[in-house]
Structure 1
Amino acid sequence: MRKLALTFALCLAVCSSGVAADKLELLIVDGQNNHQWQKTTPILKAFLEQTGRFRVDVATSPPKKSQPDAWKTFRPQFAKYDVVLSNYNGEPWPEEVQKNLEQYVAGGGGLVIVHAANNAFPGWPEWNKMIGLGWRNAKYGPRVTVNDDGDTVRTEAGEGPGAGHGPQHEFSIVIRDRGHAVMDGIPAEWMHFKDELYHGQRGPAQNMHILATAYSDPAKRGTGAHEPMVWWIPYGEGRVFTNVMGHADYSMHCVGFQTVTARGAEWVATGEVTLPVPKNFPSAGKTSTQEP
Structure 2
Amino acid sequence: MKRCLIISGGYEPHRPHEAARRVADLLADEFEVTHSSRLESYAEEDLHAYDLIVPNWTLGEMSVEVSKRLWAAIASGVGLGGFHGGMLDGFRGNERFRFMAGGAYAAEPGGVRDYRVEVLDREDPITRDIPDFDYRSEQYYLHVDPAIEVLAVTRFTATPYPWLDGVAMPVVWKKPFGAGRVFVSALGHVPDEFDCPQMSAMLARGLRWAAR
Question: CA offsets per residue over residues 63-120 of structure 1, 9 Å max, x none?
Answer: xxxxxxxx59952332121111111123222433212110111011110121002112
Q: State the partner residue of 1:25.
A: 3
Select the residue among 84, 95, 107 that pairs with 2:76. Answer: 107
Matches of 1:27 and 1:72, distance apart in 2: 9
Please tell me the residue identity of whatever aligns with 1:132.
G
Counterpart check, 1:190 vs 2:169: no
Matches of 1:181 and 1:73, distance apart in 2: 30
Please tell me the residue identity of whatever aligns with 2:31.
F
Q: State the partner residue of 1:173.
A: 117
Question: Is 170-179 or 101-110 further displaced after alignment?
Answer: 170-179
Select the residue among 92, 96, 119 that pairs with 1:122. Answer: 92
Say which SS state the counterpart of residue 181 (structure 1) adopts.
Answer: coil
Please tell me the residue identity of whatever aligns with 2:25.
A
Matches of 1:95 and 1:102, distance apart in 2: 10
Q: State the partner residue of 1:67.
A: none
Say which SS state the counterpart of residue 44 (structure 2) adopts.
Answer: coil
Q: State the partner residue of 2:105.
A: 135
Select the residue among 56, 81, 99 that pairs with 1:87. Answer: 56
More strand by share: 2
- With structure 1 as the length reference, what TM-score do the two structures score? 0.65
Please tell me the residue identity of whatever aligns with 1:80.
A
Matches of 1:78 and 1:197, distance apart in 2: 32
Deviation, structure 1 residue 48 = 2.6
Select the residue among 33, 36, 41 that pairs with 2:15. Answer: 36
Q: Which runs of 5+ in 1 are unaligned?
A: 1-22, 63-70, 137-162, 271-292
Identical-pair percentage: 24
Deviation, structure 1 residue 185 = 2.4
Matches of 2:98 and 2:90, distance apart in 1: 9
Matches of 2:72 and 2:148, distance apart in 1: 20
Deviation, structure 1 residue 31 = 2.2
Q: State the partner residue of 2:47.
A: 78
Deviation, structure 1 residue 179 = 2.6
Question: CA offsets per residue over residues 199-233 of structure 1, 9 Å max, x none?
Answer: 2x125x14111110012222466832121110112
- Kindly tell me: are residues 218 and 55 of structure 1, through their superposed partners in 2, closer, same or farther at Cα, counting changes over 3 Å? farther
Please tell me the residue identity of whatever aligns with 2:56.
N
Matches of 2:42 and 2:7, distance apart in 1: 14
Q: State the partner residue of 1:202.
A: 143
Larger Rg: 1
Superposed counterparts of 1:140-289, under 5 Å:
163-187=107-131, 189-192=132-135, 194-199=136-141, 201-203=142-144, 205-219=145-159, 223-224=164-165, 225-270=167-212
Say which SS state the counterpart of residue 153 (structure 2) adopts.
Answer: strand
| Cα RMSD after superposing both structures | 2.2
Please tell me the residue identity of whatever aligns with 2:172.
V
Query: Contact 1:33 / 1:87 at 8 angstroms: preserved in 2?
Result: no
Please tell me the residue identity of whatever aligns with 1:130.
M
Please tell me the residue identity of whatever aligns with 1:89.
T
Matches of 2:186 and 2:209, distance apart in 1: 17
Query: Contact 1:130 / 1:234 at 8 angstroms: preserved in 2?
Result: no
